[in-house]
């Protein structure tokens, strides 16, 4: 997604809130306590609170998400998601600090929360069916050092992918430092 597309889709607080509402409740509001669908919306400044009409339980859009308890606006979170998604080689907390205009501890916390949530989501998926795997080494040459397998400056890793009947990839995963697991 290009930056203009991102701004067009998530440019206002209302658009970001609507996207989050759709992600949380794709079939409309459901009370987390009684699963009721009847509700009213209470506004507290720019934040919306949903109140179940049956039990009067109140919940917000960010409750139960990685945004819960964060005092940062959704703008910062959505922009961070965009920046991390667009970075080919990953994005450091220092780069986030510079691009978001926040302190380093704030940038680190945001980065850490997002990386942890991605890791937890990735753990939900296991490779199934036909799986193709290969091992490789990543790293540059070390003059005068050992070449190939066992080189001190190379990182071993395994990449695996589930394939369909025609051999096309369905889902992929990688395992870095696989030798540590074998030994």
Q: Do residue 136 and residue 118 come from a single domain? A: no
Q: Do residue 80 and residue 105 come from a single domain? A: yes
Q: Do residue 57 and residue 88 come from a single domain? A: no
pLDDT in tens, 63-114: 877 788 778 888 888 899 889 888 878 889 999 999 999 999 999 999 999 8
Which positions ≥6 away from 163 have C-beta within 8 Å?
129, 130, 131, 132, 169, 170
Q: Do residue 117 and residue 98 come from a single domain? A: yes
15 inside domain: no
Q: Do residue 79 and residue 117 come from a single domain? A: yes
165 inside domain: yes
25 inside domain: no
pLDDT of residue 181: 40
Q: Do residue 119 and residue 134 come from a single domain? A: no
pLDDT of residue 106: 92
6 inside domain: no
12 inside domain: no
Full domain range(s) for residue 172 = 130-141+148-182
Query: pTM above 0.75?
Result: no
User: Which residue has tokens 């001190």?
Assistant: 152
pLDDT in tens, 112-160: 998 888 888 777 777 778 888 888 777 766 666 666 666 677 777 787 8
Across the beta sheet with 47-52, what order do the strands follow?
39-44, 47-52, 58-60
175 inside domain: yes
pLDDT of residue 111: 92
How far from chain centre, in Å, is Cα 163? 24
14 inside domain: no
56 inside domain: yes
Q: Do residue 53 and residue 80 come from a single domain? A: no
Q: What is the Cα–Cα distance from 131 to 140, expressed in whole angstroms? A: 29
- How many domains, the chain? 3
Tell me the sheet residues that pair with 159.
134, 174
């Amino acid at each position: 997604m290009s930056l203009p597309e991102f701004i067009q889709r998530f440019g206002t607080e209302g658009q970001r809130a609507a996207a989050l509402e759709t992600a949380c409740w794709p079939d409309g509001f459901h009370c987390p306590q009684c699963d009721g669908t009847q509700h009213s919306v209470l506004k507290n400044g720019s934040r919306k609170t949903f109140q179940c009409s049956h039990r009067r339980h109140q919940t917000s859009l960010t409750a139960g998400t990685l945004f819960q308890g964060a005092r940062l606006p959704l703008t910062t979170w959505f922009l961070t998601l965009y920046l991390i998604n667009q970075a080919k080689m990953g994005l450091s907390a220092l780069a986030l600090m510079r691009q978001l205009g926040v302190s380093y501890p704030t940038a680190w916390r945001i980065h850490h929360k997002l990386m942890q949530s991605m890791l937890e989501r990735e753990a939900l998926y296991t490779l199934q069916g036909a799986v193709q795997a290969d091992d490789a080494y990543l790293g540059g040459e070390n003059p005068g050092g050992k070449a190939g397998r066992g080189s001190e400056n190379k990182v071993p890793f395994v990449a695996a992918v589930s394939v369909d009947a025609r051999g096309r990839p369905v889902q992929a995963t990688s395992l870095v430092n696989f030798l540590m697991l074998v030994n």
